[in-house]
Amino acid sequence: MASHLKFSSRALREIGEAQEWYELQSHGLGEEFIAAIELQLKRLEQAPLLYAEVISGVRRSLLPRFPYGLFYAVRGNLIHVLAVSHDARNPKQWPKTR
Protein backbone atom coordinates (compact mmCIF):
# COMPACT_ATOMS: atom_id res chain seq x y z
CA MET A 1 0.00 0.00 0.00
CA ALA A 2 1.41 3.39 -0.99
CA SER A 3 1.78 6.00 1.70
CA HIS A 4 0.59 9.57 1.28
CA LEU A 5 2.21 12.60 2.86
CA LYS A 6 0.36 15.42 4.57
CA PHE A 7 2.10 18.44 6.13
CA SER A 8 0.89 20.59 8.98
CA SER A 9 1.13 24.33 8.48
CA ARG A 10 3.68 24.34 11.29
CA ALA A 11 5.92 21.83 9.46
CA LEU A 12 5.74 23.84 6.23
CA ARG A 13 6.62 27.04 8.09
CA GLU A 14 9.55 25.39 9.86
CA ILE A 15 10.91 23.97 6.59
CA GLY A 16 10.73 27.40 4.96
CA GLU A 17 12.38 29.14 7.90
CA ALA A 18 15.22 26.61 8.07
CA GLN A 19 15.78 26.71 4.32
CA GLU A 20 15.95 30.49 4.41
CA TRP A 21 18.39 30.47 7.35
CA TYR A 22 20.70 27.94 5.68
CA GLU A 23 20.63 29.85 2.41
CA LEU A 24 21.73 33.01 4.26
CA GLN A 25 24.65 31.08 5.73
CA SER A 26 25.90 29.82 2.37
CA HIS A 27 24.49 30.04 -1.15
CA GLY A 28 23.00 26.66 -2.09
CA LEU A 29 22.90 25.29 1.45
CA GLY A 30 19.16 25.94 1.69
CA GLU A 31 18.60 23.75 -1.36
CA GLU A 32 20.78 21.04 0.18
CA PHE A 33 18.55 21.19 3.26
CA ILE A 34 15.46 20.69 1.08
CA ALA A 35 17.18 17.78 -0.71
CA ALA A 36 17.86 16.14 2.68
CA ILE A 37 14.18 16.51 3.61
CA GLU A 38 13.06 15.04 0.29
CA LEU A 39 15.39 12.06 0.73
CA GLN A 40 14.05 11.41 4.23
CA LEU A 41 10.45 11.72 3.05
CA LYS A 42 11.09 9.04 0.41
CA ARG A 43 12.45 6.79 3.15
CA LEU A 44 9.34 7.43 5.25
CA GLU A 45 7.07 6.56 2.35
CA GLN A 46 8.88 3.23 1.96
CA ALA A 47 9.02 2.31 5.66
CA PRO A 48 6.94 4.66 7.83
CA LEU A 49 7.21 2.52 10.97
CA LEU A 50 11.00 2.25 10.82
CA TYR A 51 11.64 5.12 13.22
CA ALA A 52 10.93 5.05 16.95
CA GLU A 53 8.14 6.85 18.75
CA VAL A 54 9.43 9.79 20.78
CA ILE A 55 5.99 10.76 22.08
CA SER A 56 3.00 8.44 22.08
CA GLY A 57 1.89 8.17 18.44
CA VAL A 58 4.63 10.50 17.13
CA ARG A 59 7.80 9.25 15.47
CA ARG A 60 11.02 11.08 14.66
CA SER A 61 13.25 10.63 11.65
CA LEU A 62 16.59 12.46 11.75
CA LEU A 63 17.84 14.25 8.65
CA PRO A 64 21.23 13.34 7.24
CA ARG A 65 23.82 16.13 7.61
CA PHE A 66 21.46 18.63 9.26
CA PRO A 67 20.51 18.74 12.97
CA TYR A 68 16.78 18.45 12.30
CA GLY A 69 14.18 15.79 12.83
CA LEU A 70 10.93 15.12 11.01
CA PHE A 71 8.20 14.47 13.55
CA TYR A 72 5.30 12.54 12.08
CA ALA A 73 2.32 10.34 12.85
CA VAL A 74 1.21 7.33 10.82
CA ARG A 75 -2.51 6.79 10.37
CA GLY A 76 -3.27 3.99 7.95
CA ASN A 77 -1.59 4.91 4.68
CA LEU A 78 -1.22 8.59 5.69
CA ILE A 79 2.04 10.01 7.00
CA HIS A 80 1.23 13.31 8.69
CA VAL A 81 4.36 15.44 9.08
CA LEU A 82 3.68 17.44 12.23
CA ALA A 83 6.92 19.38 12.65
CA VAL A 84 10.44 19.78 11.32
CA SER A 85 12.35 20.73 14.41
CA HIS A 86 15.95 21.48 15.29
CA ASP A 87 17.44 18.80 17.54
CA ALA A 88 17.97 21.33 20.33
CA ARG A 89 14.19 21.73 20.77
CA ASN A 90 12.32 19.52 23.21
CA PRO A 91 9.19 18.05 21.54
CA LYS A 92 7.61 17.43 24.96
CA GLN A 93 7.29 21.21 25.30
CA TRP A 94 5.19 21.53 22.13
CA PRO A 95 1.75 23.05 22.51
CA LYS A 96 -1.05 20.47 22.43
CA THR A 97 -2.59 20.96 18.96
CA ARG A 98 -4.42 17.78 18.03
User: Parallel, antiparallel, or unpaired for β 78-86 and 4-7?
Assistant: parallel
CB 30 within 8 A of CB 23: yes
pLDDT digits (tens, 9 = 90+) for 3-14: 899 999 999 999
pLDDT value at position 94?
A: 53
pLDDT at 37 over 60: yes
Q: What is the pLDDT of residue 53?
A: 95
Separation CA 63–CA 37 (nearest Å): 7
pTM (two decimals): 0.85
Write the pLDDT tens digit of every residue in 77-92. Answer: 999 999 999 887 655 5
Kindly give the residue spans of alpha helices, DSSP state H, lying in the chain.
Answer: 9-25, 29-46
Domain at 4-93, CATH homologous superfamily: RelE-like (3.30.2310.20)
Which among 96, 67, 15 is positioned nearest to 5, based on CA atoms?
15
